[in-house]
Chains A and B, each alone.
Chain A
Amino acid sequence: MDLDALRGKLAYQPLLLGVVGLSASAALALANTATRDAIAAAEVRDMQQSLAQVLPGGFADNDLLADVVELEGPRGVPVRVHLAKRGGRVAGAVFQVAEKGYSGDITLLMAVDRDGAVLGVRVLKHTETPGLGDKIEVAKSPWITGFDGRALGDPAPERWAVKKDGGIYDQFAGATITPRAVVKAVRGGLQFFAGHRGEITG
Chain B
Amino acid sequence: MSVYREIARNGVWKQNAILAQLLGLCPLLAVSTNFVNAVSLGLATILVMAMSNLALSSLRAFIPYEIRIPIFILIIAALVTVVDLAFNAWLHDLYLVLGIFIPLIVTNCIVLARVEAFAAKNAVGASAFDGAMMGVGFVWVIGLLGAARELVGQGTLFSGIEMIVPSLQGWQVLPADYPGFLLAILPPGAFILLGCLIALRNWIDARANQRLAQRRAEAFAGT
Residues in chain A within 8 A of chain B (CB atoms): 3, 7, 12-13, 16-17, 20-21, 24-25, 27-28, 31-32, 34-35, 38-39, 42-43, 45-46, 125, 129-132
Contacts and interface: CB of A to CB of B under 8 A. Distances in A.
A24 B74 contact: yes
A152 to B, nearest CB: 32
B78 A16 contact: no
16 contacts: A3-B62, A7-B62, A13-B66, A17-B67, A20-B71, A20-B74, A20-B75, A24-B77, A27-B78, A27-B79, A34-B85, A35-B85, A42-B88, A129-B182, A129-B186, A131-B182
A29 B78 CA distance: 10
Interface string B176-199: 000010100110000000000000
A28 B78 contact: yes
A132 B183 CA distance: 11
Nearest to B181: A131
B135 interface: no
Contacts, number: 72
Given A3-B61, A13-B64, 8 more contacts: A13-B67, A16-B71, A17-B70, A17-B74, A20-B74, A31-B86, A35-B88, A43-B92
Given A20-B75, A21-B74, A24-B75, A131 B61 contact: no
A131 B82 contact: no
B185 A39 contact: no
Interface residues of B, number: 29
Interface of B: 33, 61-64, 66-67, 70-71, 74-75, 77-79, 81-82, 85-86, 88-90, 92, 96, 153-154, 180, 182, 185-186
A16 B63 CA distance: 8
A38 B74 contact: no
Contacts of A129: 182, 185-186
Give 4 closest A-B pairs by Cβ, nearest first.
Answer: A38-B89, A35-B89, A24-B78, A42-B92
A16 B86 CA distance: 28
Contacts of A3: 61-62
A106 to B, nearest CB: 15
B186 A42 contact: no
Residue of A13, A38, A131 with most chain B CB atoms under a 10 A cut-off: A131
A31 B81 contact: yes
Contacts of A27: 78-79, 82
Nearest to B79: A27
Contact of B154 (A7, A125, A131): A131
Contacts of B74: 17, 20-21, 24
Given A16-B63, A24-B77, A131 B71 contact: no
